[in-house]
Amino acid sequence: MDLSLKYYYVNLPMIEPFVYSEETEVSRNGYIFRLSTDEVTAFSECVSNDNPFYLYEYNTTSINVIKEYLSKHIGDLPEPHEFLQRVEHIKGHEFAKGALEMLLWDYKAKKQGLPLYKILDGGTKGYAETGLSIGLDSTDKMVKKVERAVNKHYKRIKVKISKGREQDILSAVRDRFPEIKLTADANSNYRISDIELLKKIDKFNLTYLEQPLNSDDLIDHSSLRKQISTPICLDESIISPEKMRKALEIRALDVVNIKPGRVGGFYNSLKIAKIAQDNGIHVWIGGMEETSVGKNYNVAIASSKLIDYPGDTGPTSELFSRDIATNPLTMENGIVKPSDEIGIGVHIDEAFLDKVTVHSGVIKLS
Protein backbone atom coordinates (compact mmCIF):
# COMPACT_ATOMS: atom_id res chain seq x y z
CA MET A 1 0.00 0.00 0.00
CA ASP A 2 1.28 3.45 -0.93
CA LEU A 3 1.38 5.66 2.16
CA SER A 4 2.60 9.22 2.59
CA LEU A 5 2.50 11.93 5.22
CA LYS A 6 2.79 15.53 4.09
CA TYR A 7 2.85 18.67 6.23
CA TYR A 8 2.01 22.29 5.41
CA TYR A 9 3.12 25.15 7.62
CA VAL A 10 0.43 27.78 7.09
CA ASN A 11 0.12 31.46 7.87
CA LEU A 12 -3.57 32.35 7.81
CA PRO A 13 -4.32 36.01 8.64
CA MET A 14 -7.01 36.74 11.20
CA ILE A 15 -9.78 39.27 10.63
CA GLU A 16 -8.53 41.17 13.69
CA PRO A 17 -5.88 40.54 16.34
CA PHE A 18 -6.83 38.23 19.20
CA VAL A 19 -5.31 39.45 22.47
CA TYR A 20 -4.97 37.70 25.80
CA SER A 21 -2.76 38.28 28.82
CA GLU A 22 0.36 36.65 27.36
CA GLU A 23 0.35 37.60 23.67
CA THR A 24 -1.37 39.05 20.62
CA GLU A 25 -2.21 36.73 17.73
CA VAL A 26 -2.61 38.27 14.27
CA SER A 27 -2.61 35.03 12.27
CA ARG A 28 -2.98 31.30 12.63
CA ASN A 29 0.50 29.88 12.23
CA GLY A 30 0.61 26.11 12.42
CA TYR A 31 0.93 22.73 10.76
CA ILE A 32 -1.69 20.89 8.70
CA PHE A 33 -1.05 17.19 8.04
CA ARG A 34 -2.26 15.08 5.13
CA LEU A 35 -2.07 11.28 5.35
CA SER A 36 -2.62 9.63 1.96
CA THR A 37 -3.20 5.94 1.27
CA ASP A 38 -4.51 4.12 -1.78
CA GLU A 39 -8.07 4.51 -0.49
CA VAL A 40 -8.18 7.34 2.05
CA THR A 41 -6.89 10.86 2.55
CA ALA A 42 -6.98 12.03 6.16
CA PHE A 43 -6.19 15.45 7.64
CA SER A 44 -5.27 16.86 11.04
CA GLU A 45 -3.96 20.08 12.54
CA CYS A 46 -1.28 20.53 15.18
CA VAL A 47 -2.67 23.22 17.46
CA SER A 48 0.58 24.52 18.93
CA ASN A 49 1.59 28.15 18.36
CA ASP A 50 4.78 29.83 17.20
CA ASN A 51 5.87 30.53 20.79
CA PRO A 52 5.89 28.77 24.19
CA PHE A 53 3.55 31.25 25.92
CA TYR A 54 0.53 28.96 26.30
CA LEU A 55 2.50 25.82 27.23
CA TYR A 56 6.11 24.80 26.71
CA GLU A 57 5.37 23.22 23.31
CA TYR A 58 5.42 25.36 20.21
CA ASN A 59 5.53 24.78 16.48
CA THR A 60 9.27 24.22 16.22
CA THR A 61 9.27 21.55 18.92
CA SER A 62 6.08 19.94 17.56
CA ILE A 63 7.31 19.42 14.01
CA ASN A 64 10.71 18.22 15.22
CA VAL A 65 9.21 15.63 17.57
CA ILE A 66 6.80 14.46 14.88
CA LYS A 67 9.57 14.04 12.31
CA GLU A 68 12.19 12.51 14.57
CA TYR A 69 10.22 10.43 17.05
CA LEU A 70 6.49 10.04 16.40
CA SER A 71 5.95 9.51 12.69
CA LYS A 72 7.72 6.13 12.65
CA HIS A 73 4.93 4.76 14.84
CA ILE A 74 2.03 5.32 12.41
CA GLY A 75 3.36 3.56 9.31
CA ASP A 76 1.12 0.54 9.86
CA LEU A 77 -1.92 2.77 10.64
CA PRO A 78 -2.57 1.60 14.19
CA GLU A 79 -5.67 2.31 16.23
CA PRO A 80 -5.37 5.74 17.90
CA HIS A 81 -5.00 4.30 21.41
CA GLU A 82 -2.34 1.85 20.16
CA PHE A 83 -0.35 4.77 18.77
CA LEU A 84 -0.47 6.50 22.17
CA GLN A 85 0.75 3.32 23.85
CA ARG A 86 3.67 3.11 21.43
CA VAL A 87 4.80 6.68 22.13
CA GLU A 88 4.21 6.67 25.88
CA HIS A 89 7.98 6.58 26.46
CA ILE A 90 8.28 9.98 24.74
CA LYS A 91 7.74 12.44 27.56
CA GLY A 92 5.20 15.21 27.07
CA HIS A 93 4.73 16.78 23.62
CA GLU A 94 0.97 16.26 23.70
CA PHE A 95 0.37 18.74 20.87
CA ALA A 96 2.60 16.70 18.57
CA LYS A 97 1.09 13.40 19.69
CA GLY A 98 -2.41 14.79 19.30
CA ALA A 99 -1.78 15.84 15.71
CA LEU A 100 -0.96 12.27 14.66
CA GLU A 101 -3.47 10.59 16.98
CA MET A 102 -6.32 12.62 15.50
CA LEU A 103 -5.03 11.94 12.00
CA LEU A 104 -5.59 8.27 12.76
CA TRP A 105 -9.15 9.00 13.92
CA ASP A 106 -9.98 10.66 10.59
CA TYR A 107 -8.41 7.71 8.77
CA LYS A 108 -10.37 5.25 10.92
CA ALA A 109 -13.72 6.99 10.34
CA LYS A 110 -13.14 7.25 6.59
CA LYS A 111 -12.20 3.59 6.36
CA GLN A 112 -15.50 2.78 8.05
CA GLY A 113 -17.38 5.19 5.78
CA LEU A 114 -18.78 7.11 8.77
CA PRO A 115 -18.68 10.67 10.11
CA LEU A 116 -16.11 11.02 12.87
CA TYR A 117 -18.62 12.00 15.54
CA LYS A 118 -20.56 8.77 15.04
CA ILE A 119 -17.66 6.48 15.96
CA LEU A 120 -16.77 8.14 19.28
CA ASP A 121 -17.52 6.43 22.59
CA GLY A 122 -20.08 8.05 24.85
CA GLY A 123 -22.90 8.60 22.36
CA THR A 124 -23.74 11.79 20.49
CA LYS A 125 -26.20 14.64 20.87
CA GLY A 126 -25.81 15.41 17.17
CA TYR A 127 -24.94 19.05 17.86
CA ALA A 128 -22.63 21.28 19.88
CA GLU A 129 -23.70 24.31 21.88
CA THR A 130 -21.37 27.15 21.03
CA GLY A 131 -19.79 29.97 23.00
CA LEU A 132 -17.55 32.81 21.89
CA SER A 133 -14.28 34.03 23.37
CA ILE A 134 -13.69 37.80 23.41
CA GLY A 135 -10.03 38.86 23.42
CA LEU A 136 -8.61 41.75 25.41
CA ASP A 137 -9.31 45.19 23.98
CA SER A 138 -10.54 48.52 25.28
CA THR A 139 -13.46 47.94 27.62
CA ASP A 140 -15.89 49.75 25.31
CA LYS A 141 -14.87 47.58 22.36
CA MET A 142 -15.16 44.42 24.43
CA VAL A 143 -18.70 45.35 25.47
CA LYS A 144 -19.63 45.96 21.83
CA LYS A 145 -18.18 42.56 20.87
CA VAL A 146 -20.20 40.92 23.63
CA GLU A 147 -23.31 42.64 22.30
CA ARG A 148 -22.66 41.28 18.80
CA ALA A 149 -22.17 37.80 20.25
CA VAL A 150 -25.41 38.02 22.22
CA ASN A 151 -27.25 39.12 19.09
CA LYS A 152 -25.87 36.08 17.27
CA HIS A 153 -27.32 33.86 20.04
CA TYR A 154 -24.09 32.39 21.31
CA LYS A 155 -24.87 30.17 24.30
CA ARG A 156 -22.00 31.43 26.45
CA ILE A 157 -19.77 34.52 26.32
CA LYS A 158 -16.20 34.35 27.60
CA VAL A 159 -14.10 37.47 28.10
CA LYS A 160 -10.36 37.50 28.56
CA ILE A 161 -9.15 39.32 31.66
CA SER A 162 -5.77 40.32 33.04
CA LYS A 163 -4.60 41.37 36.47
CA GLY A 164 -5.72 44.90 37.22
CA ARG A 165 -8.40 45.01 34.50
CA GLU A 166 -10.79 42.35 35.77
CA GLN A 167 -13.09 44.76 37.65
CA ASP A 168 -13.36 47.23 34.79
CA ILE A 169 -14.07 44.59 32.14
CA LEU A 170 -16.46 42.44 34.16
CA SER A 171 -18.36 45.41 35.62
CA ALA A 172 -18.97 46.89 32.19
CA VAL A 173 -20.10 43.61 30.66
CA ARG A 174 -22.26 42.53 33.60
CA ASP A 175 -23.91 45.95 33.90
CA ARG A 176 -24.87 45.83 30.24
CA PHE A 177 -25.83 42.13 30.20
CA PRO A 178 -26.93 41.06 33.70
CA GLU A 179 -28.49 37.75 32.61
CA ILE A 180 -26.11 36.22 30.08
CA LYS A 181 -24.05 33.10 30.74
CA LEU A 182 -20.71 34.86 31.29
CA THR A 183 -17.27 33.43 32.02
CA ALA A 184 -13.79 34.93 32.35
CA ASP A 185 -10.46 33.49 31.22
CA ALA A 186 -7.31 34.63 33.02
CA ASN A 187 -4.79 32.51 31.09
CA SER A 188 -2.67 31.95 34.24
CA ASN A 189 -2.23 35.68 34.84
CA TYR A 190 -2.77 35.59 38.61
CA ARG A 191 -1.02 34.04 41.61
CA ILE A 192 -2.48 32.81 44.89
CA SER A 193 -1.10 36.02 46.45
CA ASP A 194 -3.74 37.85 44.37
CA ILE A 195 -6.52 36.22 46.40
CA GLU A 196 -8.12 39.52 47.41
CA LEU A 197 -8.43 40.57 43.75
CA LEU A 198 -9.89 37.20 42.85
CA LYS A 199 -12.43 37.29 45.68
CA LYS A 200 -13.88 40.46 44.17
CA ILE A 201 -14.78 38.51 41.00
CA ASP A 202 -17.46 36.60 42.95
CA LYS A 203 -19.94 39.47 42.67
CA PHE A 204 -20.17 39.09 38.89
CA ASN A 205 -21.99 35.75 39.02
CA LEU A 206 -19.73 34.04 36.51
CA THR A 207 -20.47 30.51 35.36
CA TYR A 208 -16.78 29.89 36.01
CA LEU A 209 -13.36 31.53 36.17
CA GLU A 210 -10.97 29.81 33.79
CA GLN A 211 -7.32 29.05 34.59
CA PRO A 212 -6.66 31.90 37.04
CA LEU A 213 -3.28 30.52 38.23
CA ASN A 214 -0.25 28.88 36.64
CA SER A 215 -0.70 25.60 34.80
CA ASP A 216 1.31 23.66 37.40
CA ASP A 217 -0.44 25.23 40.41
CA LEU A 218 -2.96 22.47 41.17
CA ILE A 219 -2.49 22.88 44.92
CA ASP A 220 -2.99 26.65 44.73
CA HIS A 221 -6.09 26.17 42.58
CA SER A 222 -7.44 23.85 45.25
CA SER A 223 -6.75 26.50 47.88
CA LEU A 224 -8.32 29.24 45.75
CA ARG A 225 -11.44 27.15 45.15
CA LYS A 226 -12.03 26.97 48.91
CA GLN A 227 -11.80 30.75 49.24
CA ILE A 228 -14.04 32.00 46.42
CA SER A 229 -17.57 31.10 45.37
CA THR A 230 -16.99 31.36 41.63
CA PRO A 231 -16.51 27.87 40.12
CA ILE A 232 -12.98 27.13 38.92
CA CYS A 233 -12.36 25.84 35.38
CA LEU A 234 -8.99 24.34 34.54
CA ASP A 235 -7.52 24.49 31.03
CA GLU A 236 -3.72 24.48 30.74
CA SER A 237 -3.43 22.47 33.97
CA ILE A 238 -5.15 19.39 32.53
CA ILE A 239 -2.83 17.79 29.99
CA SER A 240 -3.72 14.14 30.61
CA PRO A 241 -6.23 11.83 32.32
CA GLU A 242 -3.71 11.44 35.14
CA LYS A 243 -3.60 15.21 35.72
CA MET A 244 -7.40 15.18 35.78
CA ARG A 245 -7.36 12.46 38.43
CA LYS A 246 -4.94 14.43 40.59
CA ALA A 247 -6.94 17.65 40.22
CA LEU A 248 -10.06 15.81 41.34
CA GLU A 249 -8.28 14.20 44.26
CA ILE A 250 -7.43 17.59 45.75
CA ARG A 251 -10.69 19.21 44.61
CA ALA A 252 -9.00 21.81 42.43
CA LEU A 253 -11.79 22.30 39.87
CA ASP A 254 -15.50 22.43 39.11
CA VAL A 255 -15.24 22.59 35.32
CA VAL A 256 -12.71 21.33 32.77
CA ASN A 257 -11.89 22.78 29.37
CA ILE A 258 -10.67 19.96 27.14
CA LYS A 259 -8.66 20.95 24.09
CA PRO A 260 -8.07 17.67 22.23
CA GLY A 261 -4.73 18.78 20.83
CA ARG A 262 -3.51 19.74 24.30
CA VAL A 263 -4.14 16.30 25.83
CA GLY A 264 -2.74 14.09 23.07
CA GLY A 265 -5.89 13.68 21.00
CA PHE A 266 -9.36 12.17 21.16
CA TYR A 267 -8.66 9.01 23.15
CA ASN A 268 -7.40 11.00 26.14
CA SER A 269 -10.08 13.66 25.65
CA LEU A 270 -12.83 11.07 25.94
CA LYS A 271 -11.17 9.52 29.00
CA ILE A 272 -10.96 12.92 30.71
CA ALA A 273 -14.58 13.71 29.81
CA LYS A 274 -15.76 10.39 31.25
CA ILE A 275 -13.78 10.92 34.47
CA ALA A 276 -15.34 14.37 34.75
CA GLN A 277 -18.87 13.12 34.14
CA ASP A 278 -18.45 10.35 36.70
CA ASN A 279 -17.37 12.92 39.30
CA GLY A 280 -19.92 15.67 38.65
CA ILE A 281 -17.49 17.99 36.84
CA HIS A 282 -18.80 20.07 33.94
CA VAL A 283 -17.00 19.69 30.60
CA TRP A 284 -16.61 21.81 27.50
CA ILE A 285 -14.39 21.75 24.42
CA GLY A 286 -11.98 24.61 23.90
CA GLY A 287 -10.11 25.75 20.84
CA MET A 288 -6.80 27.22 19.70
CA GLU A 289 -8.01 29.46 16.84
CA GLU A 290 -7.91 26.50 14.47
CA THR A 291 -8.69 26.30 10.77
CA SER A 292 -11.64 24.14 9.70
CA VAL A 293 -9.43 21.07 10.01
CA GLY A 294 -8.99 21.49 13.75
CA LYS A 295 -12.44 23.04 14.21
CA ASN A 296 -14.23 20.03 12.73
CA TYR A 297 -12.45 17.75 15.17
CA ASN A 298 -13.52 20.00 18.06
CA VAL A 299 -17.16 20.09 16.97
CA ALA A 300 -17.22 16.31 16.51
CA ILE A 301 -16.20 15.70 20.12
CA ALA A 302 -18.22 18.66 21.46
CA SER A 303 -21.34 16.91 20.16
CA SER A 304 -20.68 13.99 22.54
CA LYS A 305 -23.11 13.33 25.37
CA LEU A 306 -20.10 13.55 27.68
CA ILE A 307 -19.92 17.31 27.01
CA ASP A 308 -22.46 19.43 28.90
CA TYR A 309 -21.26 23.06 28.62
CA PRO A 310 -21.01 25.29 25.51
CA GLY A 311 -17.51 25.36 24.05
CA ASP A 312 -15.33 27.50 21.79
CA THR A 313 -16.74 25.79 18.72
CA GLY A 314 -18.00 28.77 16.73
CA PRO A 315 -17.54 29.04 12.98
CA THR A 316 -14.12 29.87 11.58
CA SER A 317 -15.72 32.90 9.89
CA GLU A 318 -15.36 34.63 13.28
CA LEU A 319 -11.57 34.37 12.88
CA PHE A 320 -10.72 34.32 9.19
CA SER A 321 -12.15 36.08 6.16
CA ARG A 322 -11.26 32.93 4.20
CA ASP A 323 -10.52 29.44 5.49
CA ILE A 324 -8.57 26.55 3.96
CA ALA A 325 -11.82 24.58 3.61
CA THR A 326 -14.48 25.15 0.97
CA ASN A 327 -17.19 23.90 3.36
CA PRO A 328 -16.60 25.46 6.79
CA LEU A 329 -19.18 24.66 9.44
CA THR A 330 -21.86 27.26 10.14
CA MET A 331 -23.79 28.20 13.27
CA GLU A 332 -27.52 28.74 13.79
CA ASN A 333 -28.89 30.09 17.07
CA GLY A 334 -25.76 29.14 18.95
CA ILE A 335 -25.71 25.58 17.61
CA VAL A 336 -23.11 23.98 15.33
CA LYS A 337 -23.67 20.51 13.95
CA PRO A 338 -20.77 18.19 13.14
CA SER A 339 -20.24 17.26 9.52
CA ASP A 340 -22.27 14.27 8.32
CA GLU A 341 -19.68 13.54 5.64
CA ILE A 342 -17.23 10.74 6.32
CA GLY A 343 -14.36 11.47 8.68
CA ILE A 344 -14.01 15.10 9.69
CA GLY A 345 -15.81 16.10 6.50
CA VAL A 346 -13.44 18.89 5.42
CA HIS A 347 -13.03 19.73 1.73
CA ILE A 348 -9.64 21.38 1.38
CA ASP A 349 -9.41 24.45 -0.82
CA GLU A 350 -6.19 23.31 -2.46
CA ALA A 351 -5.44 26.59 -4.24
CA PHE A 352 -5.88 28.63 -1.06
CA LEU A 353 -3.92 26.12 1.02
CA ASP A 354 -1.04 26.53 -1.42
CA LYS A 355 -1.36 30.31 -1.15
CA VAL A 356 -1.12 30.41 2.66
CA THR A 357 1.53 27.68 2.95
CA VAL A 358 4.93 29.08 3.92
CA HIS A 359 6.70 25.76 3.49
CA SER A 360 5.79 22.10 3.20
CA GLY A 361 7.42 18.71 3.11
CA VAL A 362 7.02 14.95 3.25
CA ILE A 363 7.79 12.93 6.39
CA LYS A 364 9.22 9.43 6.20
CA LEU A 365 7.11 6.84 8.02
CA SER A 366 9.84 4.31 8.70
Nearest CA-CA partner of 206 in 223, 185, 236: 185
Which residue intervals of 52-138 are DSSP H helices? 59-65, 80-86, 94-112
Chain-centroid distance of CA 222 in Å reads 23
Contact between 43 and 6 under an 8 Å Cβ cutoff? The reply is no
Question: Which of 243, 259, 271, 295 does the annotation list as catalytic?
Answer: 259
Burial environment of residue 339 by CB neighbours within 10 A (0 to 12, 13 to 18, 19 or more)? buried
Residue 160 annotated to the active site:
yes
Q: Which long-range contacts (CB under 8 A, 24 or more apart) does 170-179 make?
A: 170/201, 170/204, 170/206, 171/204, 172/139, 172/140, 172/142, 172/143, 173/142, 173/143, 173/146, 174/204, 174/205, 176/143, 176/146, 176/147, 177/146, 177/147, 177/150
* The one catalytic residue among 97, 155, 158, 160: 160
Residues annotated as catalytic are 160, 259
